Amino acid sequence: MAERVREVLPCPYCGDRPEIDRCIGWPRDLGPAPWYIGCYRGGDGEHFIGVNADTQAEARAEWNRAVLQSSGGK
């Protein structure tokens, strides 16, 4: 099960904390499964924003960059 992360910025669309976990079903012959961080909400205000990277630290850094870009650097 994905855990909630406190070291990252909240989702720029809904303000929730994103989920973080390893990509499930990753083929072993492609190496270790990458980490993902993402936020999805269906219904009114449906959105998805997500990133992945080789390490959890890289994924956190990519997420924070994506959030800052989507909010105009605010």
What is the Cα–Cα distance from 45 to 56, expressed in whole angstroms?
Answer: 28
Q: What is the per-residue pLDDT across 40-65, written as a single tens digit (0 to 9) for each?
A: 999 888 999 999 999 999 999 999 99
pLDDT at 70: 85
Please work out, in degrees rounded to the nearest 5, the angle formed at the alpha carbon of residue 12 by the alpha carbons of 6 and 18: 35
Please work out, in degrees rounded to the nearest 5, the angle formed at the alpha carbon of residue 61 by the alpha carbons of 57 and 65: 170
Check if the beta carbon of residue 14 is closer than 8 Å to that of residue 41: yes
* Predicted TM-score (pTM) of this structure: 0.78
